[in-house]
């Protein structure tokens, strides 16, 4: 099939790559000429393992094409994906202006039946709104062309986007006609994944509810970790014991300094804003958001208490991205931590394998190291913010000789606490007894 994907961001590029990989001909439409030029040369505007190689292959075999103008290719495509951004507005609601503009363009240029698929994460009810916008554009042209509005949310994890796009655990499709169902079944024919057909609104809610539930698991364990910390209980063992119950499951129960990234914080804000607008408060979700807002602060107070003061202390901040295997620093805990340390007059040396350049733009005056060990030089304390492999694998025995004081605060519980204690470190994690009584 021939497909157009409007918006070459993270979701659009990955979606285009996945469909092209399964033999469809995909035209990715992007407004930004610079981005387009790079993509044509197989240069991604973000870091994602394995993606550039596949991009190169698909461009070479002619399945993946990039274009600046929807009007030039629209007649060749039966299915049009909208994958533009939906950033948060100051009141938490999702900004739909890019989605609306894409819809207007489609209405302006389409000449025959199209399946118009919204993949951008949009508030419940957006499908109906977009339907009206396209119809209004067609009316302006005195055209009565049929189309189906379809919702097909994405569940991509950064760092594993390719795997998630090529082998999704489920494909959710919200549509209202048999024709749309048929077209979408054909589109996903080569994917070996279960398809859930729902109404458009249900599909939109599935996306928000999934992210809200995952964030709930994280905030649940993070809040519990604060209590564990106080009463000498090891939250890692608690999560392990809980996770073996298949009704609970082990995933997303890793206590830490809070969730970040481009999805969870934004989507939770958007769902809360919708609930408020509908005068039906979501109390659990509000608490999830509140716990996440305060988790980094709670951790930093622990650090401050252990060190006595942060004034003039040299702190090594290891990890800047919101999670490993990405260069994304959106809503990353590292930003809150750097802010806190600067407010408390500490000196910072930061290290990250991928995110340094992005953070430099926000905090140009702090020091940045090229290797983890360089960051540790004469530091009074180490803060582990992101669990990158190269950070976990630091030779902590050797590191002790480089540090000024052997203090390690592990915001991701990624090191072995008893091993660190044996090496003579003052080691604190999130919800693990600082002197591990189990050893
Ligand atoms: C998430 C969803 O997983 C994905 O399905 C959706 O499409 C987009 O949002 P992503 O933001 O890439 O994906 O990252 P994810 O792996 O879900 O992690 C989100 C945040 O939660 C990270 O900051 C991570 O560090 C944190 N996290 C995750 C925890 O703190 N504890 C956990 O146990 C799991």
* pLDDT tens by residue, 138-189: 999 999 999 999 999 999 999 999 999 999 999 999 999 999 999 999 999 9
Q: Which residue has the tokens 């009565």?
A: 144
Q: Inform me whether the pLDDT recorded for 194 exceeds 60.
A: yes
What pLDDT is recorded for position 436? 43
Identify the residue whose C-alpha is closest to ligand 1 atom 5. 155
- How far apart, in whole angstroms, are the C-alpha atoms of residue 175 and residue 177? 6
Cα gap 206→195, rounded to integer Å? 13
The whole-chain average pLDDT of the chain stands at 96
User: Residue 53 — very low, low, confident or very high, per pLDDT cuts 50/70/90?
Assistant: very high
Task: Kindly give the number of the ligand 1 atom that is closest to the alpha carbon of 153.
Answer: 7
**In percent, how much of the chain has pLDDT > 90?**
94
Name the CA radius of gyration of the chain, rounded: 24
Q: What is the pLDDT of residues 355-403, one digit of tens each?
A: 999 999 999 999 999 999 999 999 999 999 999 999 999 999 999 999 9
For the Cβ of 256 lying below 6 angstroms from any atom of ligand 1, the answer is yes
- Cα 157 to middle of ligand 1, angstroms: 7
What residues form DSSP beta bridges with 82? 6, 118
**Region 34-55 average pLDDT:** 92
Cβ contact 413:432 at 8 Å? yes
Eight-state DSSP code of residue 312: T
**What pLDDT is attached to residue 45?**
86
Dist. CA 249–CA 252, nearest whole Å: 9
pTM for this entry: 0.94
Mean pLDDT across the stretch 295-311? Answer: 98
According to the model, what pLDDT value does residue 60 have? Answer: 96
Question: What average pLDDT does this structure show over 112-139?
Answer: 96
Catalytic-residue membership of 414: no
Q: pLDDT per residue over 409-433, tens digit each?
A: 999 999 999 999 999 999 999 999 8
Catalytic residue (one of 77, 175, 228, 263): 263
For 267, the 3-state DSSP assignment is helix
For residue 328, give the 3-state DSSP assignment: coil
Signed CA dihedral, 5, 159, 20, 67: sign only: positive
Chain center to CA of 369? 25
- The count of other CB atoms within 10 Å of the CB of residue 229 is 22
Confidence of residue 47 (pLDDT cuts 50, 70, 90): confident
Predicted confidence at residue 416, as pLDDT, reads 96
Residue 23 pLDDT > 90, yes or no? Answer: yes
Exposure string for 101-129, b = 16+ CB within 10 A, e = fewer: ebbbbbbebbeeebbbbbbbbbbbebbee
**Encoded tokens for 212:** 């809200």
Minimum CA distance residue for ligand 1 atom 13:
157
- Ramachandran region, residue 331 (left: φ > 0; alpha: ψ -120 to 50; beta: rest): left
**CB of 218 shorter than 6 A to ligand 1:** yes
């Amino acid at each position: 099939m021939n497909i157009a994907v409007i918006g070459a961001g993270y979701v659009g590029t990955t979606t285009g790559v996945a469909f092209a990989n399964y033999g469809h001909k995909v035209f990715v439409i992007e407004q930004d000429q610079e981005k387009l030029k790079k993509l044509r040369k197989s240069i991604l505007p973000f870091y994602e393992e394995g993606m550039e190689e596949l991009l190169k292959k698909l461009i070479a075999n002619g399945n993946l094409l990039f274009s600046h103008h929807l009007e030039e290719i629209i007649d060749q495509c039966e299915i049009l994906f909208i994958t533009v951004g939906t950033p948060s507005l100051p009141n938490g609601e999702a900004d739909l202006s890019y989605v609306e503009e894409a819809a207007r363009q489609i209405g302006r240029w389409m000449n025959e039946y199209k399946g118009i698929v919204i993949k951008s994460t949009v508030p419940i009810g957006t499908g109906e709104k977009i339907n009206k916008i396209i119809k209004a554009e067609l009316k302006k042209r005195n055209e009565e062309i049929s189309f189906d509005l379809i919702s097909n949310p994405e569940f991509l994890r950064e760092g594993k986007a390719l795997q998630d796009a090529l082998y999704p655990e489920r494909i959710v499709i919200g549509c209202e006609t048999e024709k749309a169902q048929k077209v979408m079944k054909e589109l996903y024919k080569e994917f070996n994944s279960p398809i859930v057909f729902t109404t458009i609104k249900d599909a939109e809610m599935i996306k928000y509810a999934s992210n809200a539930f995952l964030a709930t698991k994280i905030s649940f364990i993070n809040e519990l970790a604060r209590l564990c910390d106080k009463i000498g209980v090891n939250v890692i063992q608690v999560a392990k014991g809980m996770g073996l119950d298949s009704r609970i499951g082990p995933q997303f129960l890793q206590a830490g300094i809070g969730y970040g990234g481009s999805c969870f914080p934004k989507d939770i804000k958007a769902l809360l804003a919708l609930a408020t607008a509908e005068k039906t408060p979501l109390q659990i979700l509000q608490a999830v958001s509140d716990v996440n807002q305060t988790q980094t602060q709670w951790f930093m107070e622990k650090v401050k208490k252990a060190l006595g003061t942060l004034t003039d202390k040299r702190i090594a901040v290891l990890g800047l991205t919101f999670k490993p295997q990405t260069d994304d620093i959106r809503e990353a805990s590292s930003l809150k931590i750097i802010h806190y340390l600067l407010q408390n007059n500490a000196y910072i040396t930061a290290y990250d394998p991928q995110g340094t350049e992005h953070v430099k733009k926000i905090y140009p005056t702090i020091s940045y190291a090229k290797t983890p060990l360089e960051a540790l030089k004469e530091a009074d304390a180490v803060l582990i913010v992101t669990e990158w492999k190269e950070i976990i694998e630091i030779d902590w025995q050797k590191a002790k000789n480089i540090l000024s004081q052997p203090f390690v605060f592990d915001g991701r519980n990624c090191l072995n606490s008893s091993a660190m204690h044996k090496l003579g470190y003052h080691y604190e994690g999130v919800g693990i007894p600082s002197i591990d009584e189990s050893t």
